[in-house]
Structure 1
Amino acid sequence: MKKYAIIVAGGSGVRMGAEIPKQFLLLKGKPLLQYTLQSFLSAYNDLNIILVLPQAHIEKGQEIIKTMNAGERIQITSGGETRFQSVKNGLSNITHPSVVFVHDGVRCMVSQQLIQNCYDQAVAKGSAVPAVAATDSIRIDEGAYHYTIDRSKVRIIQTPQTFRSEILAEAFNQEYNETFTDEATVVEAAGNKVFLIEGDYNNLKITRPIDLCIAEKLLESFIS
């Protein structure tokens, strides 16, 4: 079955305190986004990538792709005002029955094993959404009061959220709703059950400066 990864890279550098979007920040001399792209290219030789970027940064994305010698395996499309619209733009480039990974461009530590595990489950069950158990105590803040909940029942959701293309494409024909926080919520709203899969604590999302430091240490351990 064909394989596509829609890599959504529309973030900014606001929380990082950076002047450039965080997907282009350097990690060991390479843009974060390059590590992400390479993980998917290496996971499967027959996987193609649809990189979704803001229009203003498409040229920078093209420069990264050139340095990777990825041939025609990566194509770029422009994003929308919301993640929903950006993913929908990416999906418009997929015309064959496929397994589709949707991944955050700044989750640059995603492993090939997790990608492959997601693919296998999506083929078997229709979906695979990586999740890890919460390790901290969790409280729900209702404004006037707050209360604790059983953290053993809490799962922290990651990407790549992976689906058979017919499920994902149908779900994204819906009108946008502000409750859509990720692909899983879109698919569920369309009446489909979503299946979780064990995620990876190393698969962190680079959001704040400390995350970049952690990623650098992880890379050092992988290399050594």
Structure 2
Amino acid sequence: MGKVCAIVLAGGRGTRMGSCLSKQFIKVNDKPLLYYTLKTFTQCNFIDEIILVLPKSEIEFCKSEVLDKFSITVSKIVEGGSERQDSVYNGLKVLENCDIVLIHDGARPFVSKRIIEDGVHFARKYGAAAPGVTPKDTIKIKGEAGFSQNTPDRRTLCAVQTPQCFRYETIIRCHENISKEGITVTDDTMAIEIFGEKVYLYEGEYTNLKVTTPEDLILAEKLSKEYCIK
């Protein structure tokens, strides 16, 4: 089996949190959100290498307030780009002899080992995979005038999470192409779908939430107290 690498993106701002601190450094139960994310990956036997992608201005802060303070080791720290896809591409370019790569949002602090291990398995089997959950709410397609146009069957919908998992040769090729062609994507599954690749969607978890708003912190506080990794 080839090497399995994880890219953790830690470039989120605290704008919607109403915080001047980047959200991955906001503390929950006395630990930064990024602590929980990194701890799971470092303790997962499936992961051989971790690349942490950060804004240049926050690298030293992260070293002192997360990595050194909580004795967390990553393989490399890479400077992020202006957009999320640029940060991913920067992380992909430093990998060597990588077979499978997992790309994860640093602001999803409660990803489980099961999700990570399943992602590696399905990426090897299908080439690309991502966890997801069925939306709890009914989803409406909204027209330009503001009226509902139709209601998709919720059973066919999937709210996609991370880590998004790929054969390295596939995802790096697609990122090279979108960079050359100036294509904007909202996540990495979209980057490969544009070029005709398929993504296998496997079962995620509702607790694998992306912390984005102050309301998310309420649930994050509860989850952190139940978190099994110390």
Alignment of 1:14-163 (within 5 A): 14-44=15-45, 46-63=47-64, 64-71=66-73, 73-144=74-145, 145-147=147-149, 148-163=151-166
Instruction: Tell me what 1:170 maps to.
Output: 173
SS where residue 102 of structure 2 aligns? strand
Shift in CA distance, 149/205, structure 1 to aligned 2, threshold 3 Å: same
Deviations 1:16-48 (A, max 9, x none): 011111010001111101110111111127521
Letter in 2 for 1:116: E
Distance in structure 1 (CA, Å) of the matches to 2:177 and 2:27: 37
> Between the two proteins, what is the percent identity of the paired residues?
39
SS where residue 43 of structure 2 aligns? helix
Distance in structure 1 (CA, Å) of the matches to 2:216 and 2:116: 21
Distance in structure 1 (CA, Å) of the matches to 2:167 and 2:46: 19
Distance in structure 2 (CA, Å) of the matches to 1:12 and 1:97: 29
Shift in CA distance, 208/143, structure 1 to aligned 2, threshold 3 Å: same
1:199 and 2:201 aligned: no
* Contiguous gaps of at least 5 residues in structure 1: none
1:210 and 2:215 aligned: yes
Cα shift at 1:154 = 1.1
Distance in structure 1 (CA, Å) of the matches to 2:46 and 2:136: 36
Deviations 1:121-157 (A, max 9, x none): 1112112111111110111111213232221211101
Cα shift at 1:179 = 4.6
User: Would you say how many aligned residue pairs link Structure 1 and Structure 2?
Assistant: 222
Distance in structure 1 (CA, Å) of the matches to 2:225 and 2:67: 24
Indicate if the aligned counterparts of 2:126 and 2:200 stay in contact, CA closer than 8 A.
Answer: yes
Indicate if the aligned counterparts of 1:40 and 1:47 stay in contact, CA closer than 8 A.
Answer: no
**TM score, norm. by length of structure 1:** 0.94
Shift in CA distance, 31/117, structure 1 to aligned 2, threshold 3 Å: same
SS where residue 149 of structure 1 aligns? coil
* Contiguous gaps of at least 5 residues in structure 2: none
Shift in CA distance, 151/204, structure 1 to aligned 2, threshold 3 Å: same
Distance in structure 2 (CA, Å) of the matches to 1:205 and 1:120: 23
Instruction: Tell me what 1:7 maps to.
Output: 8
Cα shift at 1:190 = 2.2
Shift in CA distance, 179/212, structure 1 to aligned 2, threshold 3 Å: same
Distance in structure 2 (CA, Å) of the matches to 1:107 and 1:220: 16
Indicate if the aligned counterparts of 2:29 and 2:225 stay in contact, CA closer than 8 A.
Answer: no
